[in-house]
């Protein structure tokens, strides 16, 4: 239990110390993020891969309102916790070639956000979950709005209000569940045990789903995302796409499915349809994007659409696929954005047509980029394949046509990703790219780590699958059982 508290609050402590660290903030934050990673790995090693919740903490917090500091880790949480603690150091390292103004604030906000994310991923109390949900949003808003690019104020305001709109309705749903709960608390187990009729579940479903759908984002709640990704600083984009959107996915798995299975039963179909539309739609839009960052943003929508579809398909393959893909997508998309950041920091543009021929002058970057692109297009042997394969299989078990349309992602993904790769890296160098220098120092470290993860997870995904298997299975059984009692 101490471990979990330490895990959650170490980044917060780091944030405070970083904020006071002044010039050495970069180093301090790196130390704390790496320490968090180590701690997460220690926890992962001590974790027994069964369906139980471990390292549970249950402290009274606001007792009068039935709010407890109740957190714990099961396989599913551990996965996203690992992802978070893995990506944060990577993201911090990736910022080493930037000279941000007021770095102390910048790194402190990242670490603060990490605490929020960890709260979201470990909370077993709905209120705590909500607190973490918002606590993660504030820092990223500031990160994006202070250090962002053109038009950042308007774009981030939209992002902020859009996402918080969803979460407020979720709060309404949480309050509703709380009131329905005879014990009058926010305990997740008590929520699981609620017996709501299908109309009630329908409402709660929408209250939660919209919040999650906006966060992921699922079509048609996605329009904040490309702008925000484009305008955010590179590290902000990585945080948003790498970790933050997993909050939505995790929310669906942890809160939506088990609490309102009948709602999912009634409305999940629509969710799948939206997700699948999103896959094709976003992929198609990605075809003709001129800005590489925007292209990756749309590709992210497509990928997340598949994850969402896989989850709502509600079977072991889809769910496990979602698990793997959460991890993979986090790693891959961070890699992609980092490469684009490297390019941007060198030539000050991410416009696809202005680039070209970088492979010739920066072969190491081109190889790393290629591996990441391949991971993104789900080439077998990369992490992306495991996820997409399982997800597609999950969707397939739901419906063959759904899978056939969702599967278009593997074609479309190849089209736009390779188009981007070709136009950015291949061809002749131009006046802009001729002076391009290859990656070095922390850039190498970060990119090679990402590439290694892509391949290792692709070749040997078993640890991940093993980690989540029992929890996922337990979840499915739980939900199915509950669904049977409702019907």
Of residues 85 and 317, the one with the C-beta less far from another protein:
317
Q: Which of 132, 96, 108, 104 is nearest to 244 (CA)?
A: 132
3-state helix, strand, coil in the chain (%, to 5): 80, 5, 15
Contact flag: residue 172 with another protein (CB under 8 A): yes
Of residues 35 and 408, the one with the C-beta less far from another protein:
408
Contact flag: residue 478 with another protein (CB under 8 A): no
Of residues 269 and 364, the one with the C-beta less far from another protein:
364
Whether a cis peptide bond, with omega within 30° of 0, leads into 41 is: no
Contact flag: residue 4 with another protein (CB under 8 A): no
The Cα–Cα gap between 186 and 200 comes to 18
Contact flag: residue 5 with another protein (CB under 8 A): no
Question: For another protein, how many residues bind (rule: CB under 8 A)?
Answer: 86
Residues 12-41 that bind another protein (CB under 8 A): none
Q: How far is the CB of 3 from another protein (least distance, A)?
A: 22
Q: How far is the CB of 378 from another protein (least distance, A)?
A: 9
The Cα–Cα gap between 343 and 324 comes to 29
274 burial (CB, 10 Å; 0-12 / 13-18 / 19+) is buried
**Residue 348: count of CB within 10 angstroms of its CB:** 10
Contact flag: residue 327 with another protein (CB under 8 A): no
Contact flag: residue 339 with another protein (CB under 8 A): no
Residues 358-377 that bind another protein (CB under 8 A): 359-360, 374
3-state SS of 206-275 is HHHHHHHHHHCCCCCCCCHHHHHHHHCCHHHHHHHHHHHHHHHHHHHHHHHHHHCHHHHHHHHHHHHHHH
Contact flag: residue 457 with another protein (CB under 8 A): no
Of residues 125 and 469, the one with the C-beta less far from another protein:
469
CB 299 within 8 A of CB 235: no
Partners of residue 71 on adjacent β-strands: 57, 123
Residues 403-422 that bind another protein (CB under 8 A): 403-404, 407-408, 410-411, 414-415, 418-419, 422
Contact flag: residue 357 with another protein (CB under 8 A): yes
Residue 260 C-alpha from the chain's centroid: 23
Residues 52-91 that bind another protein (CB under 8 A): 61-65
Of residues 31 and 426, the one with the C-beta less far from another protein:
426
Contact flag: residue 431 with another protein (CB under 8 A): no
- Scored b (16 or more CB within 10 A) or e, 13-44 reads ebbebbbebeeebbebbbbbbebbbebbeebb
Contact flag: residue 168 with another protein (CB under 8 A): yes
Taking CB under 8 A as the binding criterion, the range among 40-48, 249-257, 342-350, 387-395 that sits at the site for another protein is 387-395
Contact flag: residue 165 with another protein (CB under 8 A): yes
């Amino acid at each position: 239990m101490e471990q979990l508290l330490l895990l959650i609050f170490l980044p917060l402590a780091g944030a405070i110390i970083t904020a006071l660290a002044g010039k050495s903030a970069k180093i301090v934050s790196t130390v704390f993020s790496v320490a968090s990673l180590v701690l997460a790995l220690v926890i992962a090693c001590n974790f027994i891969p069964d369906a139980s919740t471990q390292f549970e903490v249950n402290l009274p917090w606001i007792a009068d309102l039935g709010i407890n500091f109740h957190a714990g880790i099961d396989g599913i949480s551990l996965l996203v916790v690992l992802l978070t603690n893995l990506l944060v150091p990577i993201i911090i390292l990736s910022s080493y070639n930037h000279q941000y103004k007021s770095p102390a604030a910048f790194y402190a906000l990242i670490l603060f956000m990490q605490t929020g994310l960890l709260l979201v991923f470990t909370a077993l109390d709905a209120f705590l979950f909500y607190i973490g949900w918002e606590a993660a949003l504030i820092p990223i808003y500031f990160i994006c709005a202070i250090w962002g690019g053109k038009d950042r104020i308007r774009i981030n305001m939209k992002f902020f209000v859009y996402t918080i709109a969803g979460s407020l309705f979720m709060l309404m749903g949480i309050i509703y569940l709380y009131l329905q709960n005879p014990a009058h608390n926010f305990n997740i187990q008590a929520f699981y045990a609620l017996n709501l009729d299908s109309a009630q579940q329908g409402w709660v479903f929408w209250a939660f789903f919209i919040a999650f759908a906006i966060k992921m984002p699922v079509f048609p709640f996605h329009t904040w995302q490309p702008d925000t990704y484009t305008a955010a600083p590179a590290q902000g984009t990585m945080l948003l796409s790498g970790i933050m959107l997993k909050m939505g996915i995790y929310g669906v798995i942890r809160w939506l499915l088990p609490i309102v299975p009948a709602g999912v039963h009634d409305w999940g179909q629509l969710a799948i349809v939206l997700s699948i539309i999103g896959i094709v739609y976003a992929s198609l839009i990605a075809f003709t994007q001129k800005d590489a960052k925007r292209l990756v943003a749309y590709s992210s929508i497509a990928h997340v659409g598949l994850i969402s579809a896989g989850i709502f398909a509600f079977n072991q393959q889809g769910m496990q696929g979602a698990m793997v893909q959460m991890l993979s997508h986090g790693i891959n998309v961070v890699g992609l954005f980092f490469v684009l950041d490297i390019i941007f920091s060198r030539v000050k543009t991410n416009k696809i047509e202005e680039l070209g021929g970088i492979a010739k002058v920066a072969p190491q970057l081109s190889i790393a980029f290629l591996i990441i692109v391949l991971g993104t297009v789900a080439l077998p042997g990369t992490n992306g394949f495991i996820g997409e394969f399982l997800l597609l299989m999950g969707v397939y078990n739901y419906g063959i046509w759904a899978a056939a349309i969702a599967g278009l992602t593997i074609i479309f993904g190849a089209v736009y990703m390779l188009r981007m790769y070709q136009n950015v890296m291949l061809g002749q160098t131009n006046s802009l790219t001729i002076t391009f220098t290859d990656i070095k120092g922390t850039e190498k470290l970060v990119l090679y780590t990402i590439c290694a993860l892509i391949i290792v997870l692709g070749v040997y995904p078993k640890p991940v699958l093993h980690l989540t298997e029992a929890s996922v299975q337990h979840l499915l059984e739980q939900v199915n059982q509950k669904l049977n009692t409702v019907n």
